[in-house]
Amino acid sequence: MSVRQGERRLPFRDPERMMEVDRTLDHIETGGPFLHRKDGARYENYDGRLPQREPGYYREYTVETSGIRGRGRRRIVQGAGGETYYSDDHYESFIRIDPRSY
């Protein structure tokens, strides 16, 4: 289901962060463009902070952050089944988000 940018209900109050996460979700949905070679790479879930799945189930994506050079700490991890998680502390914690809701 395609959602127009800015229409997703995301659990953030900061409008800038909402826009950055929304933009990344748009790129994931359309297959890019991605600025970092690791975007779309396997996320292995070594620490078990996400539900355990077979290897290769999860993919990671960089959330571009204003004022930060490089990849920064924000990521989206998406499972093959569409479940989507956001981390703003480089995988130390996750919140589940629904990229299809609006």
From the list 16, 60, 64, 83, the catalytic residue is: 60
Let me know if 60 is a catalytic residue. Answer: yes
From the list 29, 36, 90, 92, the catalytic residue is: 90
DSSP letters for the chain: ----TT-S--S---HHHHHHHHHHHHHHHHT---SSTTTTEEE--TT--S----TT-EEEEE---TT--SS-S-EEEEETTS-EEEESSTTS--EEE-TT--
Let me know if 20 is a catalytic residue. Answer: no
> Catalytic positions, please?
60, 90
